Amino acid sequence: MLFPETALADYSPTMSAVVPAEWSTHRAMWVGFPSHPDLWEQNLDEARREVVGLIRALAGPGAEHVKVMTATPEAEETARKSLVDVPNVTIVPGDFGDIWLRDTGPIFTSPGEAVAFRFNGWGGKYDLPGDADVAQQVARHAGAHLRQVDFVLEGGALDHDGSGAVLTTRQCLLNANRNGRQTEAEVERQLQAALGATSVHWLEEGLMNDHTDGHVDNLARFVGQSVIACPVSFGEDDPNADVYDAVATSLATFRQRDGSPHRIVRVPSPGRVLIDGHVAPASHMNFLIANAAVVVPTYDDRRGNLAVEALEQVFPGRQVIGLSSRALLTGGGSFHCITQQEPA
């Protein structure tokens, strides 16, 4: 939805700088390191191996300076030992409840400017000590000025094209467990003032059993100035088949500033992925765009290869790498969820 002039006429806050697209050059990439055994239980070691694999891909083929945030002395020691041979990695001792830095960290609008929203544990589901302070910690280490916004929002709820267009879902941003019952127009004004959003493309529902209430980084992503990727169902028992079709239908109606449609790229989904007998919110859309690579979460089957092949078509200048993320999925997310980029 484009912001109508009449809706903005009486709106006083100065418009923010636009959030850069994720494919813009990064100064650094932040990664959360699994630190609390009580949260990960028997999956801790494997989750750490998956994160170490991600960091190696980012610091190597991805051409990133990786800042790894740890929350305990034991986790810091483990990270240092696991990454001792990896260049371009900085270990940053910090304080967080869990590793989902995309949601708890700041959103950078430039190398020296970042925005922090209120964090309420995804609508009050998971209130962990330290999470509300992650944005301040990251901004302090980055030397960025941090602007506080009195609005509940997680970074994974939005995707940006670098020119002011934003993708999101009504299930999340209009959920009463975030900011009460605000209207679309009220939320759009918040996004314009805080993040320079010039248009908001609203999708409806997110993935089944996604505790984030439908974060868009599991659902649809900008992969170029006029290109959006979204899943297509895989297998007759794909639990999100209807959701994916609804997303593709909605995306086809979205328009760019010049009125032209976006090119929609359908990426094979992981299909039905079970964790402890329950459908998990597994998504290849939770990929991470690095300076010279794209890292795609996979879930231990050939479907990940199909997703990698599809994304290679839209990222010809980057190496597309599929890495296992099944242990991370037991915590509810994947590679995009545990990272946050600093723009150059």
Mean pLDDT, the chain, integer: 94
pLDDT value of residue 17? 87
Cβ atoms of 299 and 281 closer than 8 Å: no
From CA 67, how far away is CA 89, in angstroms rounded? 6
Q: DSSP letters of 145-198? A: EEEEEEEE--GGG-EE-SSSEEEEEHHHHT-HHHHSS--HHHHHHHHHHHH--S
From CA 322, how far away is CA 340, in angstroms rounded? 19
Q: DSSP letters of 283-320? A: -GGG-EE-SSEEEEEE-SSTHHHHHHHHHHTT-TTSEE
Q: Helix (H, G, I), strand (E, B), or coil: what is residue 27?
A: strand
Closest CA to 28 of 85, 112, 146, 133: 112
**Cα 256 from chain centre:** 22
Question: 250-297, pLDDT tens digit by residue?
Answer: 999 999 999 999 999 999 999 999 999 999 999 999 999 999 999 999
The yes/no answer on whether domain 5-343 falls in CATH 3.40.50.150 is: no
230 is an active site residue: no
Q: What angle do CA 306, 311, 313 make, to 5 degrees?
A: 105
Q: Helix 73-82 vs helix 44-59: angle between axes, to the nearest 10 degrees?
A: 50
> Each residue's pLDDT tens digit in the chain (344 positions)?
333 222 222 333 445 789 999 999 999 999 999 999 999 999 999 999 999 999 999 999 999 999 999 999 999 999 999 999 999 999 999 999 999 999 999 999 999 999 999 999 999 999 899 999 999 999 999 999 999 999 999 999 999 999 999 999 999 999 999 999 999 999 999 999 999 999 999 999 999 999 999 999 999 999 999 999 999 999 999 999 999 999 999 999 999 999 999 999 999 999 999 999 999 999 999 999 999 999 999 998 888 999 999 999 999 999 999 999 999 999 999 999 999 999 99
The amino acid sitting at 156 is G
Q: Give, in order, the Cα–Cα distances in Å from 190 to each of 116, 117, 160.
A: 13, 11, 15
How many helices and strands (H and E) does the chain possess? 13, 18
The rounded radius of gyration (Å) of the Cα atoms in the chain is 19
- The residue from 54, 219, 337, 338 that is catalytic is 337
pLDDT value of residue 15? 54
Q: What angle do CA 174, 196, 222 make, to 5 degrees?
A: 75
The H or E element containing residue 107 is: strand 107-110
Q: Going edge to edge, which strands form the sheet with 263-268?
A: 221-224, 227-232, 263-268
Q: Helix (H, G, I), strand (E, B), or coil: what is residue 38?
A: helix
Please count the other Cβ atoms lying within 10 Å of the Cβ belonging to residue 63.
Answer: 16
Question: 222-242, pLDDT tens digit by residue?
Answer: 999 999 999 999 999 999 999
Q: Which two tokens stand for residue 59?
A: 């610091």
Give the phi and the psi of residue 252 in degrees, each rounded to 5.
Answer: -65, -20
**Cα 286 from chain centre:** 7
